Structure 1
Amino acid sequence: MASYDDRDGFIWMDGKLVEWRGANVHILTHALHYASAVFEGERCYSGKIFKGTEHSERLIHSGKLLDMDIPFTVAEIDAAKAQVLKANGLTDAYVRAIAYRGAGEEMGVASLANPVRLAIACWTWGAYYGDAKFKGAKLDISKWKRPSPETIPSEAKAAGLYMICTMSKHAAMAKGCSDAMMFDYRGYVAEATGANIFFVKDGEVHTPKADCFLNGITRQTVIGMLKDMQVKVHERHILPEELESFEQCWLTGTAAEVTPVGEIGPYNFEVGELTRRVATEYEKLVRA
């Protein structure tokens, strides 16, 4: 696999297509030093981005939460994503849009005089967890916790919020795991490093209340699917000691799609009928 900075193709940057290898920013770009960036991960299926407009809307909302007014409308962002997919000849792809504070007059913490930039790239990307999508992922339990919304803009898909996720996933991979589950600052079950989490018990679904982590678009989609399937969904605080009682588990996210979980630390789960059904129905939905 070629390095992400050494590929053929085009990346959309601030209104124009740039050759992939030339899509660069200055070393004093504010986002590089202070994490003043927000982004979106999206999947395109058979030429259509699943809920692309919702992702564009969330990108703008995330920017506002970081005092960044992205200088493009939702319609312009949607059009740019279509343009970059066409330029790269892709119909099934992962799409990454990132808005960030660029280099400008300021290089301290304050950056209001610096321009807000927007770039969009796309590439082919298979199953995020590899064969775990079929046999069940193995998760570590992270030592890092999702922080209080009083300390971070937890509604934003902001680059800086993923620092502890990267460290948690590295620690998990060192143990032979695919990912890590994180608790929140109160000790409740929260999410994985880049995906939301669901559990099954007695035919009903339980998922952590999204009050201090990102309420994922895929998470919301799956909750809607379950309700249409007449499956009762409980969005609530989940205590660590409850993990032993759950029978099934899966993760959701744009990259993860619907991925079953077989293990979380000492706890085991079956890849059961409901998990398989949700994964199958989600696959049908995104390709409809």
Structure 2
Amino acid sequence: MAGYEDRDGLIWMDGEMVEWRDAKVHILTHAMHYASSVFEGERAYNGKIFKSREHSERLIASAEALDMPMPYTVDQIEAAKEETLKASGLQDAYVRAIVWRGSGEDMGVASAKNPVRMAIAVWGWGAYYGDAKMKGAKLDIAEWKRPSPETIPVHAKAAGLYMICTISKHKAEAKGCSDALFMDYRGYVAEATGANIFFVKDGEVHTPKPDCFLNGITRQTVIGMLKDRGITVHERHIMPEELDGFEQCWLTGTAAEVTPVGEIGPHRFEVGELTQEIAKAYEELVRS
């Protein structure tokens, strides 16, 4: 597979379809220097983007949180995504919409004079964790912590929030793990580097309360699926010492979908019946 900068295809960029290799920005783009960028990761199944409108709405909310006035409405973003997906020729695909402060009159921390730009790219992307979807992912425990809401806009899907995710995932992969689990600034269990986390104990589900990290769209979908099945879901603060008492574990995210977890550091989990049931049901839902 060629690098992401060297592929055939088209990318939607500021209202126009651009040849993939020509979709470029200037080196003095504000986002490159000051992380003034937000994005969405979405999946299309059978030619339809799952929860597309919710993603577009969140993209606008994230941009507003970073004081970036969006140049497009939800309806315009929806139309642009559909156009780009159609141009890709793919039915099952990953869709990346990104909004950023471009280059302009400002080249310091402030960037109010610089244009807000947007692009959408579509490509084929299989299982995010590879064969972990069958046997269970292996997670490291990250050294970094999810920050306080008083320090950063934690509910925005902002590029800057992923800096510690990249560091932590690199360290995890060097140890032979698929991902890393973050604690938050208070010491509670939070999330993985790009996915929310769920645990099972005595037939009930426990998941961290998203008060300092992104309340994922897939997370919300899975909680709804569990409740529809009459399964009790506890959204609460979870202490690290509780990990030993949980029987099953899985991750959720647009890229991750529903991926079972077999290990987190010294803790072990079975890829149990409920985990398999929810993973299968989610796969059926997104393709329905």
TM-score (norm 2): 1.00
Aligned-CA RMSD value: 0.3
In 1, the alpha carbon distance for the partners of 2:87 and 2:127 equals 24
Deviations along 1:100-131, one digit per CA (max 9) or x if unpaired, are 00000000000000000000000000000000
Unmatched tracts of structure 2, length 5 or more: none
In 1, the alpha carbon distance for the partners of 2:47 and 2:141 equals 37
Q: Which secondary structure does the structure 1 equivalent of 2:160 belong to?
A: helix
Q: Which secondary structure does the structure 2 equivalent of 1:187 belong to?
A: coil
Deviations along 1:195-240, one digit per CA (max 9) or x if unpaired, are 0000000000000000000000000000000000100000000001
What pairs with 1:1-288 in structure 2 (closer than 5 Å)? Answer: 1-288=1-288
Amino acid at match of 1:115: P
- Cα deviation for residue 88 of structure 1 reads 1.4
Deviations along 1:31-80, one digit per CA (max 9) or x if unpaired, are 00000000000000001000000000000000000000110000110110
Q: Give 4+ residue runs of structure 1 displaced > 3 Å after superposition.
A: none
In 2, the alpha carbon distance for the partners of 1:17 and 1:232 equals 47
Amino acid at match of 2:218: T
Amino acid at match of 2:104: G
- Cα deviation for residue 22 of structure 1 reads 0.1
Deviations along 1:145-185, one digit per CA (max 9) or x if unpaired, are 00001001011000000000000000000000000000000
Q: Which secondary structure does the structure 2 equivalent of 1:76 belong to?
A: helix
- Cα deviation for residue 266 of structure 1 reads 0.1
Q: Which secondary structure does the structure 2 equivalent of 1:170 belong to?
A: helix
In 1, the alpha carbon distance for the partners of 2:241 and 2:142 equals 16
Q: Which secondary structure does the structure 1 equivalent of 2:284 belong to?
A: helix
In 1, the alpha carbon distance for the partners of 2:86 and 2:132 equals 31
In 2, the alpha carbon distance for the partners of 1:147 and 1:9 equals 38
In 1, the alpha carbon distance for the partners of 2:250 and 2:2 equals 31
In 2, the alpha carbon distance for the partners of 1:210 and 1:182 equals 13
Amino acid at match of 2:103: A
Unmatched tracts of structure 1, length 5 or more: none
Q: Which secondary structure does the structure 1 equivalent of 2:234 belong to?
A: strand
State percent identity of aligned pairs.
Answer: 77
Q: Which secondary structure does the structure 2 equivalent of 1:77 belong to?
A: helix
In 2, the alpha carbon distance for the partners of 1:92 and 1:175 equals 31
Q: Which secondary structure does the structure 1 equivalent of 2:150 belong to?
A: coil
TM-score (norm 1): 1.00
In 1, the alpha carbon distance for the partners of 2:69 and 2:238 equals 36
- Cα deviation for residue 265 of structure 1 reads 0.1
In 1, the alpha carbon distance for the partners of 2:158 and 2:94 equals 18
Amino acid at match of 2:12: W
